[in-house]
Structure 1
Amino acid sequence: MEHYGWLSLLPPVITVALALLTKEVIFSLFTGVFVGYLIVNGWNPVTALIDATDGIANSLNDGWNIRIILFCALLGAFVGLMQATGAASAFGKWMASKVKSRKGTLIITWLFGIFIFIDDYFNSLTIGTVMRPVTDEQKISRAKLAYILDSTAAPVSVLAPISSWVVTIMSIIKGSDGFSKLGVSEFTFFILLIPINLYAILAILMVLQTILRRDFGPMAKSENRALKGLGLYNAEFGQPTGEVKEGIVVKERARAIDMILPILVLVGLAVIFFPITTYLGAIDGENIHTFSEAVKSMTLKEAFNNTDASKALFYASLFTLVFASIYFMLRGLLTIQKVGEAIVGGIKSMVPALVILTLAWTIGTVIKSSPEDGGLGLSKYLAHVVTSGGFPLWALPVVVFIIAAAISFATGTSWGTFAIMIPIAMPIAIALAEKTGANLLNSALITVGASIGGAIFGDHCSPISDTTILSSTGAGCPHLEHVATQMPYATFVMVISALGYLIAGIFNSPVAGFVSALIVFFIAYEVMIRVRKPVEE
C-alpha cells in the first residue's frame, strides 16, 4: 500500500479548518499530528497519542533540525542583546540625523527596515520607537509609519538569506517529498526562490513607490490630515495601540556602530562558514585527509551549492553571539549579568516559533511518509489524483498562491501556512512536471514561491497577524486605521503577484513571472495615482 487514499487528506484539512476557526496555529498543528497518527494506528487514541509524542521527539532527534532550533534560539538571543543595549535606537537616530526633509525621513525609515532583516518583531518595535518622534516632526501620519514598519518586517525577513524565516522555510522544503529529485541543496533552492517571491518583493517596492510618487486610497486621506495639522492619526478608529517602552532601552553610550558591526559580523561569518562546512564534511579519512585537500577537491561554487546550511548558520550565530556579548561588555553597554538576562529573554521570545517549527516537521513527516514507514503517503496520493485528473501545471502556482493567501489572512500567520502548504505543493508540482515533461526545478520554484508569497500576504495585512499588531503598536497608530490604510496597498500587490504567478506557470519560468509582475506593477501604479485624487499639498 502506497497511501491511505482520501484519509491521508484528513490531517492537513483538519489543521486548516481548526486554524481558520480557532485562530490558534499550535493547537491546530498538534491536532493534525494526532489525527495523522490516529489513522496510522487504526483509530486507537492511546497508541496514537504515544506515537504523536514520539514523532515530535524524533523530529528533534535529527542533526539538521536541532541545529535549526539552536540557530533560531541564538538569533533570538542576539536580538535580545541588541534590544538591551539600545544600539538599534542609536543607529536609527544617526540615520535620522542625516536628513531633514519629509521624503528623506520616509526613505530613511524604509532603509532602516531593510537593514534590520534578522527579525520581524525587532524590526517593527525598534524602528517604530526610534523613528516615531522624527516622523511626527515631519507631519508624517502614524498610518504611513505603521505601513512602512509592516512592509519591511515579514517581506524583508523572508528574503534575507540569514534569518529565522529562512531556516524555517529551508527546513520545510528539505523535508518535502520530491525535493531530492531537484539536484540542488536547500540553500541554493532558497536563493533561487528569491526572484519568484513576488509578493515580498513588490510589497517592499510598493513602499518606495508611495514615498517617491504619491499615495492613494485611505492612506492619502491619512497623509492629507497629517499635512494639514489635523492630527497624526484618525481618532475615529480609536486611540493608538500604545507607546512602546518595554524591551526598547536607550543607552546614552550606544552608537550606530554598535548596531552595524555585530550584523556585519553575522553576515560575514555566515558567508565564510557556508563553504567551510562543506570542506570539513568532505574530509573522510580515506580519499581526503586534510582541509587543504578538501579545498582542492571542489570549486568554491560547488562548496556553496553543497553546503549544510544548518551547520553554517548555527556556527555563524554562535560565534556572533559570543562576539557581541564580549563587545558590548567591553563597550560598557552591558554587564555580564545583563548579557545573561538579555540572552535568556531573547530565547524566550522565540519559543512559540520553535514550537510551530517542531510541529510543522512532525506533521510533515506523518503525512509524507509511506505506510511502510509509519506515515500516510499523502504526497503520493495527491500526485496520483492531480496527474490522473488532468489538472494543468500552469494553473497550479496561482491556485496555491490564492489558497495560501486565504489561509494566512484568516489565521494571521505565515509560518503556520508554510508548514501546511509547502509539503503539499512541492510533490504535486514535481509530479505534474514529470508527467508533462516540464522543468522540475522551475515548477518547484514557482509553486513553492507561490506558497510563500501567499503566506506573506496574510502575515502582512491580516488584522490578527502579530506583525500587523506590533506595527500599529510601534507606530503609535490606531490598529484599525493601520489595517484600513494598508489593505488597499496589500491587495494591489497581491493581485499583481497572482498575475505574475499565472504567467510564470504558463511559461514555466520564474524569470517570466518576475519580469511581467514588475512591468505590470509599475504601469498599474501609475494608473492608480492618476485616477485617484492626489494628496493636497
Structure 2
Amino acid sequence: MENTIFSILPPILAILMVVITRRVLLSLGVGIIVSALLLADFKIGETFAITWDAVKGIFVSEGAINTSSVYIILFLLLLGIITAFISISGGSRAFGDWAMKRVKTRVGAQLVGAILGIIIFIDDYFNALAVGQVTRPITDRQKVSRAKLAYIIDSTSAPICVVSPVSSWGATIIVLIGTILASHGVTEYSAFSAFMQMVPMNFYVWAAIGMVFIVAIRNMNLGSMKVHEDRAISTGEVFNPDKTIPGELKEDLPTSRTGTIGDLIWPILGLFVGTVGAMLWTGAQAIEGETTILGIFENTDVTLSLILGGLLGFIVSMIMFARQALVLRGVEANVLGSGVIAGLKSMLPAVYILIFAWAIGDLIGRLETGTYLAGVVENANLNVAYLPFILFILAGFMAFATGTSWGSFGILLPIAGEIAAVSDISLILPAMSAVLAGAVFGDHCSPISDTTILSSTGAGSNHIDHVMTQLPYALISAGIASIGFIIVGFTGSTMAALAVVILFLIGIWFLSGKSPKQVNPIEEKVV
C-alpha cells in the first residue's frame, strides 16, 4: 500500500473524524490503526507490531533514547510547572494588574501577542509556547478568547521563522536551497541571496501576517471565532469551560499576597535566555571549521536547547517561590508538592495529543504519502506557468495530511527544483517559495500538526477550537497567496504579485467592518 493512492486514506480519515467528532485522540487513534493495517496488508498480528513500533519509536530509536521527542515532552512538563509556580508566587496576578494599566483595550492586548510573535523568531516551538505564557494574562484580562490568542500565536510563529535566515528554519532551508541550486548548475546567486530573494515571494506568509493585524484591529471574527469572542466579551469566559484546555491549571492553587511582576518576568526571562543561549552554544559546538551565525543556527540542537532553557526557567521559578514562601511569607511552603502535580497535570492533554500525532506521522511517512503526492505532480503534463500555484496547493495538502511542514518541503523542494530546471529555470525560486508557503499553510490547517498543537497549548485553548477558528483565516490567506503565485508564474514579477497581495489585504481591511469599540458597545461595560 506504500506510495499509492491508498496512502492518503489514513490522514484524510483522521482529519475528517477530528472535524466531525471533535475527539482528537480517538480520531488520531483510528488513523494510526488504519495506517498500520495498510502497512501490514491487514494482518492483525503485524498491525499490532507496527503500531507498537511507531509508539516505541517516539521514546526509543535504534537502541537509544529519542531525544528530539522526549525533550519536547519534558519541556512541556517543565513549562506546566513553571506556569503553576508563576501563578502561586503571584506573578500572573501582578502582571495582569500591571498590564491593565498600560494595555487598556482588547485591540492592544491582541497586538501585544502579534508583535511578540514577530519579534521572537528564533524557533516556532519556542515562539508558540513563550508568547502564550507572556500574553495570556493580558488577553485574559481584556476578555480576548483563548481561540483568538492561539490564532495570533500560530500565524506569527512558523510564518516568521520560515522567512527569517537567523532561525532554526531559515538556516536549514538555506542549506537545502544551496544543494538544489548546485545540483542544477545555478551559479548567479548564493544560497543565502537566493533565500533572501525568495522572502518577498512567500505570499502566504505576508497574507497570513496581514490577516492577523486586520483581525485584531478590525475585529474580523469569522465563523466559530465569533462565538468564542462573543462569549469572552459578554461573560468573561475566555474558553469553553466544558472542554479540555491544555496548559490550564484546574486545581485551586493559592496565590501569594505579596507577588510582584518580577515573579513572572524573571522565570520567563530565564526560559528565554536559557533557550537562546543553549541554541547558540549547541550550534557553535557542532560546527566544524569557521563559526558563522548561519552555521550556528543550521547546526543547533533545538530540542536540547528547549530543555536546558526550561530547566533554567524552572530553577528561577523555584527561587521566586522560595522567596515568596520563606522570606515574604506570602504563601505557604507546603504548597510545593501540589503545585508541581498541578503543573504536570495541566500539560498532560498536550502530551497525549503530541504522542498520537507523532505516531500517525511516522506511519504516514512509512506509507510514503508525501512521495506519492509529489509523484502525481511530477508526472503530470502541466503548463509551466502554473507550477508555483500547483506546488503551493500540493505542499499545502501534503502538510495538511502529514502534519509536518518540514517533511513536506524536504520532499518537494528538490522536486520543485527539478521541474523548474527542465522546463523554465527562471521559475526555480518562485517554485521553491511556493513549496515553503504551502507547507506553512497546510501546517496551519492540520489538526495533527505539532506546531498547531503547541500553539493551542501555549494559548491555553482547546485544540479543536483552535483548528476550527483558525481555518477560515488560513483559507483566505491561502486564496490571496494563490493569486500571487499565479501572477508570478505568468509574469515573472515578484513585485507585481506582492502588490496584488497587498491590495487584497487593503480591500479586506475596508470590507471587514468597524473597530471593536464601535461594533461591540458592551465592551465599554465589560472590559
Q: TM-score range with shorter-chain normalisation? A: 0.5 to 0.7
- Report the counterpart of residue 98 of structure 1 in structure 2: 102
Mapped contact 1:199–1:497 kept (Cα < 8 A): yes
- Alpha-carbon offset, residue 19 of structure 1: 1.8
Structure 2 unaligned runs (5+)? 19-25, 184-191, 243-247, 326-332, 522-527
Mapped contact 2:218–2:509 kept (Cα < 8 A): no
Structure 1 pair 224–148 and aligned structure 2 pair: CA distance change class (3 A): closer
1:431-471 deviation line (CA, Å, top 9, x unaligned): 423433467676344213212213314669xxx99978998
- Report the counterpart of residue 49 of structure 2 in structure 1: 50
Structure 1 pair 82–188 and aligned structure 2 pair: CA distance change class (3 A): farther
- Alpha-carbon offset, residue 307 of structure 1: 0.9
- What fraction of aligned residue pairs are identical, expressed as a percent? 17
- In the alignment, the residues of structure 2 paired with residue 233 and residue 188 of structure 1 have an alpha-carbon distance, to the nearest angstrom, of 51
- Report the counterpart of residue 443 of structure 1 in structure 2: 431
- Report the counterpart of residue 360 of structure 2 in structure 1: 359
The DSSP-based 3-state class of the residue aligned with 1:76 is helix
Query: Cα RMSD (Å) of the superposition?
Result: 5.7
* Corresponding letter in the other structure for 2:442: G
Q: Which moved more, 1:18-27 or 1:123-132?
A: 123-132
- Alpha-carbon offset, residue 17 of structure 1: 3.2
Q: Which moved more, 1:66-75 or 1:519-528?
A: 519-528
1:14 equivalent in alignment to 2:25: no
Equivalent position to 1:520, from 495, 504, 514: 504
Structure 1 pair 500–420 and aligned structure 2 pair: CA distance change class (3 A): same
* Corresponding letter in the other structure for 2:380: G
Equivalent position to 1:389, from 368, 380, 385: 380
1:327-352 deviation line (CA, Å, top 9, x unaligned): 34443377653564256336533232
The DSSP-based 3-state class of the residue aligned with 1:156 is coil
- Report the counterpart of residue 498 of structure 1 in structure 2: 482
The DSSP-based 3-state class of the residue aligned with 1:8 is coil
- Alpha-carbon offset, residue 491 of structure 1: 5.0
* Corresponding letter in the other structure for 2:102: K
Equivalent position to 2:315, from 306, 323, 332: 323
1:279-332 deviation line (CA, Å, top 9, x unaligned): 4335xxxxxxxxxxx6xx303235325414346534543543453354344433
- Alpha-carbon offset, residue 80 of structure 1: 0.5
- In the alignment, the residues of structure 1 paired with residue 252 and residue 428 of structure 2 have an alpha-carbon distance, to the nearest angstrom, of 47
Mapped contact 1:107–1:211 kept (Cα < 8 A): yes
Mapped contact 2:156–2:209 kept (Cα < 8 A): yes
- Report the counterpart of residue 141 of structure 1 in structure 2: none
Mapped contact 1:196–1:514 kept (Cα < 8 A): yes
Aligned ranges 1:369-384 → 2 under 5 Å? 379=371
Aligned ranges 1:215-226 → 2 under 5 Å? none
Structure 1 pair 389–197 and aligned structure 2 pair: CA distance change class (3 A): closer
Structure 1 pair 319–470 and aligned structure 2 pair: CA distance change class (3 A): closer
Structure 1 pair 147–281 and aligned structure 2 pair: CA distance change class (3 A): closer
- Report the counterpart of residue 79 of structure 1 in structure 2: 79
The DSSP-based 3-state class of the residue aligned with 1:97 is helix
Mapped contact 1:496–1:520 kept (Cα < 8 A): yes
- In the alignment, the residues of structure 2 paired with residue 21 and residue 29 of structure 1 have an alpha-carbon distance, to the nearest angstrom, of 10
TM-score, normalization by structure 1: 0.64
- Report the counterpart of residue 372 of structure 1 in structure 2: none
Aligned ranges 1:281-292 → 2 under 5 Å? 281-282=286-287
Structure 1 pair 445–254 and aligned structure 2 pair: CA distance change class (3 A): farther
1:473-510 deviation line (CA, Å, top 9, x unaligned): 79xxxx89x979x8865654343233334445557898
The DSSP-based 3-state class of the residue aligned with 2:403 is helix
- In the alignment, the residues of structure 2 paired with residue 310 and residue 240 of structure 1 have an alpha-carbon distance, to the nearest angstrom, of 31
- In the alignment, the residues of structure 1 paired with residue 75 and residue 496 of structure 2 have an alpha-carbon distance, to the nearest angstrom, of 35
Mapped contact 1:446–1:504 kept (Cα < 8 A): no
Q: Which moved more, 1:501-510 or 1:337-346?
A: 501-510
The DSSP-based 3-state class of the residue aligned with 1:331 is helix
- In the alignment, the residues of structure 1 paired with residue 266 and residue 302 of structure 2 have an alpha-carbon distance, to the nearest angstrom, of 23
Structure 1 pair 161–447 and aligned structure 2 pair: CA distance change class (3 A): closer
Equivalent position to 1:34, from 20, 33, 36: 36
Aligned ranges 1:101-140 → 2 under 5 Å? 104=108, 107-108=111-112, 118=126, 131-135=139-143
- Report the counterpart of residue 453 of structure 1 in structure 2: 441
Mapped contact 1:81–1:343 kept (Cα < 8 A): yes
- Report the counterpart of residue 241 of structure 2 in structure 1: 242
1:244-298 deviation line (CA, Å, top 9, x unaligned): 762686544443333333333333334333443344335xxxxxxxxxxx6xx30
- Report the counterpart of residue 140 of structure 1 in structure 2: none
1:432 equivalent in alignment to 2:419: yes
Mapped contact 2:55–2:359 kept (Cα < 8 A): yes
Mapped contact 1:221–1:535 kept (Cα < 8 A): no
Mapped contact 2:131–2:153 kept (Cα < 8 A): yes
- Report the counterpart of residue 266 of structure 1 in structure 2: 271
Mapped contact 2:488–2:496 kept (Cα < 8 A): yes
- Report the counterpart of residue 296 of structure 2 in structure 1: 304
Structure 1 pair 58–188 and aligned structure 2 pair: CA distance change class (3 A): farther
Structure 1 pair 168–218 and aligned structure 2 pair: CA distance change class (3 A): same
- Alpha-carbon offset, residue 353 of structure 1: 0.8
- Alpha-carbon offset, residue 97 of structure 1: 1.7
1:175-206 deviation line (CA, Å, top 9, x unaligned): xx99975789xx99999998776556544543
Structure 1 pair 345–146 and aligned structure 2 pair: CA distance change class (3 A): closer
* Corresponding letter in the other structure for 1:98: R
- In the alignment, the residues of structure 1 paired with residue 251 and residue 128 of structure 2 have an alpha-carbon distance, to the nearest angstrom, of 15
Structure 1 pair 445–439 and aligned structure 2 pair: CA distance change class (3 A): same
TM-score, normalization by structure 2: 0.65
1:10-37 deviation line (CA, Å, top 9, x unaligned): 4532113312442255225423542453
- In the alignment, the residues of structure 1 paired with residue 137 and residue 395 of structure 2 have an alpha-carbon distance, to the nearest angstrom, of 32
- Report the counterpart of residue 525 of structure 2 in structure 1: none
* Corresponding letter in the other structure for 1:27: G
- Alpha-carbon offset, residue 386 of structure 1: 3.0
1:380-439 deviation line (CA, Å, top 9, x unaligned): x6555433422356545544655777899xxxx897365885566456434423433467
* Corresponding letter in the other structure for 2:3: S
* Corresponding letter in the other structure for 1:429: A
Structure 1 pair 214–101 and aligned structure 2 pair: CA distance change class (3 A): closer
* Corresponding letter in the other structure for 2:316: A
- Report the counterpart of residue 288 of structure 1 in structure 2: none
Mapped contact 1:459–1:467 kept (Cα < 8 A): no
Pairs aligned (count): 469
* Corresponding letter in the other structure for 2:422: K
- In the alignment, the residues of structure 2 paired with residue 190 and residue 253 of structure 1 have an alpha-carbon distance, to the nearest angstrom, of 50
- In the alignment, the residues of structure 2 paired with residue 407 and residue 279 of structure 1 have an alpha-carbon distance, to the nearest angstrom, of 33
Mapped contact 1:446–1:505 kept (Cα < 8 A): no
